[in-house]
Structure 1
Amino acid sequence: MPNICRPPCLLLLIFLFLCCCPAHARYLEILAAGDVTLGGGMRDTPMPSLLFAPETRRRIEQADVFLWNCETAGPASFSKENLYIFHADDMFFPQMRFANGAACTANNHVFDGYEEGAANLLHMLEQNGIAQNGLHLRGHYAPLLLTTPGHQAPVYLLTGSPMSQIGSGPQVVTLTYPLLREWIHALRQAVPESLIIVYSHDGEEGQLEPTLRQRQWANIFAAAGADVLLFAHSHLYGGVEILWDSPRRTLVAWSLGNFLFGGNRRWKHHRDVRLLRVRVDLTDGNKDAVWLLGHTDNWQFSFYPARTPEDDLSRKEREDSHKDG
């Protein structure tokens, strides 16, 4: 009869091997912010000393990916009429540097300083160590690889917009929707196991519901192989839905609203400022999303404290005591 017992030292070695080998993360967490304008009202006195409360920055850093729409043109010697507030120097850019972060630079204000301003924006982002996707030299676009250690599949960001071509130069451009669709399809074919995030600046200002164009192109991008579609432009926090009939069960956020929006002073002290938390199950591809609620005080963003079961219990006790009284 063979001896099936294992020596204790062998069992110990197996245990140590399993503990030391990094396991693949099951979930990918994406924090997605809407429009960020690092100029305009932010230059008022007093200027913010910090754009993020320390505990809020730590929470953002815990995510796998942090995305934000850089709706800002770099300095330029000339600009489109009446659009000064969307120009910025790099005073606040160092605070937007996150190891897990990337700026999306395809939107309707990125060419407010024409090609000169766009080129200066690229320089500011590079100087501050901020990865970006959107602006590129004509013919040299590439998806941005966002993969972090421990994930089972490479994660890519692709950006484009039908609203960012006016003012572009002969060299610095962004992708149109037809080209964006081609890149999504090509990436899905080249790297079938990849997770593809698409961020697009589109929608109608002040309107919660997606436009017909958004819905049409969301279906096209989903059919091409996108996993997550993020839209911004309406300045409102819109709905989220799953396109269940698409090949990847694509999650679509129709409007990410404003985040650190120096575009007008109304957002300097704002009680409702949000990030969208998207979670992707890397095992079965299921996706879900929830808004993380916060606020700004002199442009500094902070999350509201998370509610706990103890909070709900104490509230119930207070309600019961009022009833008894």
Structure 2
Amino acid sequence: MKVRVLALPLLLASCGGPTAAPPPPPASPALSPPAPLSPSAPAPPSAPAAELRLAFAGDVHFTDRTAALLQHPSTAFGPIATTLSDADLTVVNLETAITSRGTEEPKTYHFRTEPKALDALQAAGIDAVTIANNHVLDYGRVGLLDTLDALHSADYPYFGAGRNTDDAYAPLNLTVKGVKIALLGFSQVHELASTWAPGPDKPGVALAFDTNRALAAVTAARTQADLVIVFNHWGEEGNGCPTTEQKTFATQLSRAGADVIIGAHAHTLQGNGWIGHTFVAYGMGNFLWYGDSKSTETGILRLTVRSRTVTAAEFLPAVVSDTGQPTLLEGAKAQSLSRRYSSLRTCAALSPSPA
């Protein structure tokens, strides 16, 4: 299976994001081997696993009112960018094609933007995006190929779609504070799924419906990475409770080796918790959004991870404002949304702690 490996020095200067492995040191002169340890000598201690702070948010695109924000890409996300930048790795769902070409697909909503959108993401401290969703192909395969070209031209990390099947299902591999992280994305949206699937010589989106391939990709990533993260596009729009289809796939991903599962698409928040030792956040809602929606409730999910274990999960409640920008809530409003978000765990059938 093809593996996508990207490292972005331009992202690191501002937000302490993923770092590329340093080049190997020059060869040293031959030295005598060290004397063996005596049987009673303790083994040298291994270096402790680095503690990572990860941040996730939901759907982002630049259309209508949010398109106007690209007049000033450096401030497109507004003050919340400070919080997005304050993580070792920040990931969102980029739900748009980056193209001026192509023909609209036979569907109701169509989103597209210009390459300046990547400047806005970078300025906000967002280190990588999933493009496994139901809008990256809104303008057909021409639009998808333009999107991939724009991402490659900007050297911007992405996952979840590609120029062929292997490329679409390949993980994005990043090294953060010495920890090898694999990110994979899958769409579970039925609309046009049969025609949006990739092929050996056909660009497309990695689909959850090709379950064997999706699970094999996660299992393969598990053998190469210290931490495996899956970002899904799934669920029923407007439903704060995950569907049976979501729950089934989440359980399968957990068994295949996923450590963290994040989701979006339902246009509303869905609950979080654990399936065994896998942390799951079924739905992060809209984040930077163009207009009316099922809900304006949103937020940033901040996870503290050591080794393969999520040791702390913090939800930072926010609302999509009249500009389309997400704004963090404070005081009683923040407490109210935090309580509601916590209550969503019940219908998600997730445990409050790892098994």
TM-score (norm 2): 0.68
Partner SS state of residue 105, structure 2? coil
2:42 matched to which residue of 1?
none
Partner SS state of residue 33, structure 1? strand
**Contact between 1:40 and 1:86, CA under 8 Å: does it hold in 2?**
no
Alignment CA distance shift 1:206-1:87 (3 Å) = same
**Contact between 2:77 and 2:288, CA under 8 Å: does it hold in 1?**
no
**Contact between 1:74 and 1:119, CA under 8 Å: does it hold in 2?**
no
1:77 matched to which residue of 2?
102
Instruction: For 1:34-183, list aligned pairs within 5 A.
Output: 34-43=58-67, 50-53=75-78, 56-75=80-99, 76-81=101-106, 83=108, 85-97=110-122, 101-141=127-167, 142-149=170-177, 151=178, 153-163=179-189, 165-168=193-196, 171-177=202-208, 178=211, 179-183=213-217
Selected match of 1:294 from 318, 332, 339 = 318
2:300 matched to which residue of 1?
275
Return the letter of the residue paired with 2:91: L
Partner SS state of residue 176, structure 1? coil
57-66 vs 82-91, which moves further: 82-91
Partner SS state of residue 217, structure 2? helix
1:184 matched to 2:184: no
How many residues are paired up?
272
**Contact between 1:201 and 1:233, CA under 8 Å: does it hold in 2?**
yes
Distance 1:80 1:271 in 2: 27
Shift of 1:69: 0.6
**Contact between 1:231 and 1:253, CA under 8 Å: does it hold in 2?**
yes
Distance 1:182 1:294 in 2: 36
**Contact between 2:70 and 2:120, CA under 8 Å: does it hold in 1?**
no
- Percentage identity across aligned positions? 27
Partner SS state of residue 239, structure 1? strand
Gaps of 5+ in 2: 1-46, 333-355
Larger radius of gyration: 1
31-40 vs 135-144, which moves further: 135-144
Distance 1:81 1:32 in 2: 31
Give the superposed CA RMSD: 2.9
Gaps of 5+ in 1: 1-22, 308-325
TM-score (norm 1): 0.74
